[in-house]
Amino acid sequence: MRWFRAPGRANLIGEHTDHTDGLVLPAAIDRALSLEADLGGHRIRLTSAQAPERVDVPADGSSAPEGGFGRFVAAVAAELAEVGRAPVGMTGRLTSDLPQGAGLSSSAALEVVVATALCAAADLQLEPLELAALCRRAEHRAVGVPSGIMDQAASILGRAGHAVLLDCGTLEHRQVPLPEQHALLLLDTGVQRRLETSGYAQRSEELRAGLHVLDGRRPADVDPAELPTLLASLPAIPARRLRHVVSENARVREVAAAFAAEDLPRVGELFAAGHASLRDDYEVSIPELDALVELSGEAGATAARMTGGGFGGAIVVLVPDDRAQSLGESVLAAYRERFPAASPSLHLCHASDGAGER
């Protein structure tokens, strides 16, 4: 038996910037998918503690089930076959302490853990970002969502106590130390989301309708001071989408600088500005996410904003360790009063190491 693990991620800032080659600052979290497997054979046979179905697909992913987690497994195997992996299978079981549908990248963690095990099965070594790009292609193949590389890269590149500053265009990246004795508190609205049914693709198309004003530059290379001139000729919707993406790329640089300067009040301001931009300009927040951010601010969080694609899912709260649990509980109590039908949850996390065999 061999054991593999791939964590979920909490993006600290840089939301909806990755699919236009922009900047992101995610952290891998200490909640993960684990896979215990016997490597070998011609089929990939997997069960999961979280899902009823049994997956049984050819080791080269040449046929795939229509629904369920087997789509991702087959898509990863098919992408690996395209880069020449020998079709060696495995028999194993998945377990998880990573909440699904909470915007914490459970599908990326699934792709990464399966890819890591299948590479080990066939003795194939891929560079970390090559593996991330391959898993991103598998996500497209499985569910057709035009997502970026952030989630898979975070699951692979994560390091305990750090976030990774990644330029999704050049793939340059570096580790950014996070403040000591701070938790990443994830507060889940209880509103489930799946990227394939959210407005992810629609937002991305609306953004693309405005990109021509950049004359070939990517949004990450535009100074926000240029925005009033650049946006003047655009219809309202593409203008708002582009304003979000240009300003968000700038916020990624500023948050990384504020962490380096240990200026936590500034991190708090930038998280608040990022959340407002996702709410008002990119329009992917929902009232439940807005309420959690507002309540966390009132309860004295260092910084809080929605994390992930939006339309549901969770917020990420930066808060000192010794206050994290109590702050989370009081925020959720106030949230339940506003949304009595919701079933929110709290996940007290820290930045963790990325995927691998253990």
**Angstrom distance (rounded) from CA 255 to CA 350:** 18
Q: Is 346 helix (H, G, I), strand (E, B) or coil?
A: strand
Of 41 and 101, nearer to ligand GLA (C-beta) is 101
Q: Is 322 tagged catalytic?
A: no
Contacts of 113 (CB under 8 A, 6+ apart): 4, 5, 6, 32, 33, 34, 35, 94, 355
Contact window for ligand GLA (CB under 6 A) among 13-21, 256-264, 288-296, 323-331: 13-21
147 binds ligand GLA (CB under 6 A): yes
- Interface residue with ligand GLA, options 150, 176, 187, 303 (CB under 6 A): 150
Find residue 10's DSSP bridge partners.
27
Report the nearest approach of ligand GLA to the CB of residue 24 (Å).
7
Q: How far apart are CA 301 and CA 145, in angstroms?
A: 33
x/- mask, ligand GLA, residues 191-220, rule CB under 6 A, reads ----x-------------------------
Residue 197: both structure tokens together: 């049914």
Tell whether residue 244 is a contact of ligand GLA (CB under 6 A).
no
The string of DSSP codes covering 74-135 is: HHHHHHHHHTT-----EEEEEEE-SPTTSSS-HHHHHHHHHHHHHHHHTT----HHHHHHHH
350 scored as a contact of ligand GLA (CB under 6 A): no
**CB–CB of 55/43 below 8 Å?**
no
Which of 19/241 has CB closer to ligand GLA? 19
**309 makes contact with ligand GLA (CB under 6 A):** yes
* Minimal distance, residue 146 CB to ligand GLA, in Å: 9
Residue 107 or 302 with smaller CB distance to ligand GLA: 107
**Residue among 21, 60, 111, 151 that touches ligand GLA (CB under 6 A):** 151
Dist. CA 213–CA 94, nearest whole Å: 47
In this chain, which stretch among 30-38, 41-49, 52-60, 143-151 interacts with ligand GLA, using CB under 6 A?
143-151
Check residue 16 for interaction with ligand GLA (CB under 6 A).
Answer: yes
Give the list of residues 6+ apart from residue 170 with CB closer than 8 angstroms, or none: none
Site membership for ligand GLA, residue 19 (CB under 6 A): yes
**Looking at 18, 21, 30, 151, which residue is catalytic?**
151
Distance in angstroms (rounded) separating the CA atoms of residues 147 and 3? 28
The reply on whether position 153 binds ligand GLA by CB under 6 A is no
Q: How far is CA 249 from CA 236, 242, 357, in A?
A: 20, 11, 33
Residue ranges binding ligand GLA (CB under 6 A): 11, 15-16, 18-19, 105, 147-148, 150-151, 195, 308-309
Catalytic residues: 151
